[in-house]
Structure 1
């Protein structure tokens, strides 16, 4: 457990080494697969294949998939570190995630080596921890964040765009960095879209994540655990190891399907559009949502997919529950059509003479984080009260750090 800047520096250094090694392993296997696809010979320096025919392209593709998953798992751990050192402040993540992925990390890039040297220098000369973007997936603007101890006891955060050539500044990158910093200071406009703004709801964050921790604990004993969550949601937790040990692999799969079907009937999730999120194979795929590494229990099992959970709701039940909270709500998608991309509008809210459409990324907050529905409704009401025509609000609640600590 990291307790001080020195712990974080050491942890990041180890994570960096593991990420570079996994990236190199992926590159080596990709090279072999490409040669075999062209009908060329197996390279004499090809890495050892742990299983399968080394002349079989599919065996190398499988190795590539394994490497890709390992890299995503490592980046998810980096995301958890980022959320923690940023005080679990969602506004930083929402502001700094708004770029495309920089691509694979490797020492062949001049910039990568320069960033590593910068972090080492900050620690050696000033004892300041520097969070590097390349060990994360959720932070994509700038290259590094340096944490200073302020005179008033608070921690000051400085964003850096690093260039190995000081004369090779990129004006667009610099402007996006300044916009991100301004957004987090004053809840201002987010980088990349003049309409997108952080909005402070002023509503304390409340979730049902303790119920998820209970479900994990019971699934570890029983293999499968189902629960109804307030707000018309249905939760299923599945522990692969416990289920296989108790029933065997095939029977465990059948029991999973039976338990899920029973849960939907008991929860009355039978009308409208059904929306389901499963944690399986989703690590480091959604930069807008908290990483598994900060969840209240079983973080390692979630990251490695030894433990999965699903949360399901239906559009009709969501509209009904929000109506009970005083919200005027309309579901935007036709019955049976599920959202297909994070920014897709799915729900229209009306209040205080304003209206706003919420995208599927915000709906995922109701599924992944099990936010208390009356809490969320109050927050959206505050967003609408503060809203202006043409805004694309990204709501932030208060005291969110207490949820994740």
Structure 2
């Protein structure tokens, strides 16, 4: 994580040519993705993203091979790739490029996540269902399966004029290998077919087939999601709403002033930081002082006293469990790219007590249940809510979504209330995931 790195190492990583070049490409990718309308647009976009992803994976693999030899005390191989910065005999120089290329790979997968969200028409149900598996790791042509999947996608377009989304280009699609989008009918409905591909058709993995079947049934019939925790998607029927327009305004001010704070509905405090702008305005020590002073003033202004909950955007590209990828945020392409590359960062803070009180005003009995000092995982329950004869435990990931997406709190509370109303006796012991409607109005 960036926060674990010494400042000089972090500075070298951020300033590395690979990182700067990718940051510039991200803007073009986001702009091009927003222009995609027809299947041929998505096919062409995916091809460009595929080339960039495979090149980054190959470059990382080459440097990993050299680093392993140097770590063992062996000589630099004759066919070693050119080192962009540093002494090629210095192991740490190769480690730096490995770190840079790991970040580049995640940044490109974040673009793949944005592609997936847009292809699925910003319907979060598909992401929640297809996310429930371990990551397959970097995409590389050294795997026979990757070549097979690419060939399958090309065949779908060549033979059927259908866009086939390669899951390994993303971080959020972890069940199945390819999603094929059929031609929309007169009602704009389309079939989406999920494929688990094998280079050898006779080979079958029962666990993979079961996950694929459960995913399809969860989306079609409301059955349990794969994973063994009896999680289910519950349609709240409530249109999604956020205050993300405030984020765009805050970044516009931060681009001029380096730093901007503002209040957000739901008794939340928003702090945005434009790192290049702040760096050109202040020395590091003064920038830290400005950050601390303005954040403290924000807490006073928004009366965020007592126990607080805070989430930030930093170093989260292709790492978030539930939140939408930065590439689809309703911001300028350069701002989205800045978030992916950590040139722009923001934090959202709320009072734990104020949040509980706001939920109680909507008729929900809520309380924080995380023990003081406990470590927080993405699935760790933070809040317990009682209503309509049911008890719901809200995990860390849902609170993170509530803050980072600046979700309208009354809308979220109404969705939770509707979801609890819909839970019957059969679902009383399930882990429900609330799904809101018309999300495309926020992201498209």
After TM superposition, the score normalised by the length of structure 1 is 0.96
Taking the aligned partners of 1:265 and 1:57, their CA distance within structure 2 comes to 48
Contact 1:201–1:380 under 8 Å retained in 2:
yes
Answering whether residue 284 of structure 2 is matched by residue 245 of structure 1, we say no
C-alpha displacement of 1:261: 2.0
- 2:248 corresponds to 1:213: yes
Q: Which one of the candidate residues 258, 261, 280 is aligned to 2:296?
A: 261
Q: Report matched runs for 1:172-187 at 5 Å.
A: 172-187=207-222
Q: How does 1:194-209 map to 2 (within 5 A)?
A: 195-209=230-244
How far 1:287 moved relative to its partner? 3.6
Among 397, 400, 420, the residue aligned to 1:361: 397
Q: Secondary structure at the match of 1:308?
A: strand
Deviates more, 1:164-173 or 1:11-20: 164-173
Query: What is the 5 A alignment of 1:28-47?
Result: 28-47=62-81
Q: Distance in 1 between matches of 2:374 and 2:132?
A: 24
What SS does the aligned partner of 1:393 have?
A: strand
Separation of aligned partners in 2, 1:54 and 1:151: 58
Instruction: Provide the C-alpha distance between the structure 1 equivalents of 2:229 and 2:378, rounded to a whole number of angstroms.
Output: 19
Question: Which of these residues, 436, 439, 442, is aligned with residue 397 of structure 1?
Answer: 436
Which of 186, 191, 198 pairs up with 1:156?
A: 191
> Hey, what does 2:161 align to over in structure 1?
127
| Aligned equivalents of 1:150, 1:344: Cα separation in 2 | 40
Equivalent position SS for 2:191: strand
Quote the offset at 1:354 in angstroms.
1.2
Which of 407, 411, 425 is matched with 1:371 structurally?
Answer: 407
Matches within 5 A, 1:54-133: 54-133=88-167
Deviation at 1:249, TM superposition (A): 4.1
- CA deviations on 1:325-356 (whole Å, 9 max, x unpaired) are 22101100134x36521100110001111111
Q: Assess if the C-alpha contact under 8 Å between 1:275 and 1:338 holds in 2.
A: no
Structure 1 window deviating more from structure 2 (30-39 vs 14-23): it is 30-39
What is the number of residues matched between the two proteins? Answer: 403
> Per-residue displacement from partner, 1:65-111 (whole Å, max 9, x unpaired)?
10000000000000000000100000000000001001221111111
SS in 2 for 1:228: strand
| Root-mean-square deviation over aligned CA pairs | 1.4
TM-score when normalising by structure 2: 0.88
- Deviation per CA, 1:44-68: give whole Å up to 9, x if none: 2222222222222222111111000
CA 287–355 in structure 1, closer or farther in 2 if over 3 Å, else same: closer
Q: Does the C-alpha gap of structure 1 residues 338 and 237 become closer, same or farther in structure 2, counting only changes over 3 Å?
A: farther
Alignment CA distance shift 1:148-1:403 (3 Å): same
- From 281, 284, 292, the equivalent of 2:318 is 284
Alignment match of 2:181 (pick from 104, 123, 147): 147
Paired residue secondary structure (2:168):
helix
- Segment of structure 1 superposing worse, 296-305 or 90-99: 296-305
Aligned residues of 1:187 and 1:200 also touching (Cα < 8 A): no
Post-superposition offset of 1:15? 0.6
Per the alignment, residue 378 of structure 2 pairs with 342
Q: Is the 2:321–2:397 contact (alpha carbons within 8 Å) kept by the matching residues of 1?
A: no
What SS class does the counterpart of residue 182 from structure 2 fall into? strand
Give 1:381's aligned residue: 417
Distance in 2 (CA, whole Å) between partners of 1:271 and 1:362 is: 22
